[in-house]
Amino acid sequence: MTVDLQIAVVEDDPHYRGSLETLLQMEPGFALAGSYGSAREFLASLGGRPADAEVSWDVVLMDIDLPGMSGIEATRELRRRNVDAPVVILTAFEDPERILSAIRAGADGYLVKRAGLIEVLEQLRSVASGGSPMTPTVARSVLGLLREPNAGAARVGSTNASTHTSSAGATAAPDEGDAALSGRELAVLTALVNGRSYKQIAADLDLSTHTIRTYIRRVYGKLRVHSATEAVARALRGRLTK
């Protein structure tokens, strides 16, 4: 029997929150584990949760612009409390600085609301399986950070967040799969995220389509992902945690 994916929603817009609630209650494979109009209300629902206690949801869908406490602050607080369940930021903002802040706080994905509710569900399935969802428009907005040497590291260093803390409180080493992308691999990834087909990328770079497929396999293999936008998210997270 398939187990429903339990989703907690934190969204202050009652109309949008209502749409998410209805969708999660009707869509096979999903269940609404809780719905909250503010980050403080959501965090209060945890009560005096012991450090090793399980939460009642599998994924948190978190808005950024929330009254009293932002979704980024709430995500940071979850990690401080050793809650390691995935958090997906869902927002209208595509500002790279917000994206960086969300990832530094411990978010596992970053989606824009205009992507559509069905795509949100697809991405929730991805993050529940260990992916790092990022809508294409968001991926394009952060590609520049990957093209600039040490850009992400410099930004992180300025906020004293150059390492990622695991749920046990120890500093986690970067995954072995987070190897640095070569210039050509990054060029292929950039073109892929920008919507170029394999044939178009081959023509742009004066390479064969077979070679392009090889580069893409290398990128996905290095980052342990299965899509271009997930590769960008994983590469960005690797840049921020090294």
Of 221, 101, 81, nearest to 158 (Cα)? 101
Of 96, 80, 215, 78, nearest to 88 (Cα)? 78
Residues 170-200 pLDDT 10s:
333 334 344 578 888 888 888 887 778 888 8
In whole angstroms, what is the distance from residue 110 CA to residue 233 CA?
9
151 phi/psi in degrees, rounded to 5: -60, -50
In whole angstroms, what is the distance from residue 219 CA to residue 225 CA?
8
In whole angstroms, what is the distance from residue 238 CA to residue 242 CA?
6
pLDDT of residue 146: 67
CATH fold group of domain 142-241 = Arc Repressor Mutant, subunit A (1.10.10)
pLDDT of residue 111: 87
Q: Do the domains 142-241 and 5-133 match in fold?
A: no
- What mean pLDDT value characterizes the chain? 78
End-to-end CA distance of the chain: 41
Residues 70-106 pLDDT 10s:
999 999 999 998 888 899 998 887 787 888 888 888 8
In whole angstroms, what is the distance from residue 14 CA to residue 16 CA?
6
Percentages helix, strand, coil for the chain (3-state, rounded to 5) are 50, 10, 40
Q: Are 29 and 56 in contact (CB under 8 A)?
A: no
**Of residues 50 and 70, which shows the higher confidence score?**
70
CA angle 159, 220, 133 (to 5 degrees): 55
Pairing of strands 109-112, 59-62: unpaired
User: What CATH class does 5-133 carry?
Assistant: alpha beta
pLDDT of residue 118: 83
The owner of tokens 């965090």 is 43
| pLDDT band at residue 4 using 50, 70 and 90 as cut-offs | confident
Instruction: Please report, for the chain, the start and end positions of each structural domain, with discontinuous segments joined by +.
Output: 5-133, 142-241
Residues 193-228 pLDDT 10s:
777 888 889 999 999 988 998 898 888 888 887 777
Residues 6 or more apart in contact with residue 47 via CB below 8 angstroms: none
In whole angstroms, what is the distance from residue 229 CA to residue 237 CA?
12
